[in-house]
Structure formats: structure tokens, C-alpha cells
Amino acid sequence: MGSVKWLEKKPFDNRDLARLVTHRSQLPGADDTPLLAVTRNDCTADVPSLTPQDLQGAWT
């Protein structure tokens, strides 16, 4: 389960992660699903993250 944050100047932070954890808990059977952030800027939360360049690199 993941979150895509395309914010111009703000990183994916602990507040975003907390929202993602809350949303995951609302999906039946998803409690143990790993979390992932895809963010245009940095990720300051303790969660695996990908950048747009990472995604592009996967297709080239």
C-alpha cells in the first residue's frame, strides 16, 4: 500500500505516514501490508520511498 505525494516543496513526512497507516487500517486484511511512499521531494518519515526518477528508471 502506498501514497503518492506530488507536493512542490514539502517532503513526505510523519503526518503523511500517520494518515497512510490510518487508511491502511480501514482496508480489510491490509494490516500487515508493507507501506511505500512515492514522492517528488524528500521523504522524512521512516518508510521506504521512491522518487520519480526511480519509477522512470524501472521502465528504461
CB 14 within 8 A of CB 45: yes
**Amino acid at the residue 40:** R
Q: Please say whether the beta carbons of 44 and 55 come within 8 A.
A: no
pTM for this prediction: 0.81
Any idea where the domains of the chain sit in the sequence? Answer: 2-59
Q: What is the pLDDT of residues 7-41, one digit of tens each?
A: 888 999 999 999 999 999 999 999 999 999 999 98
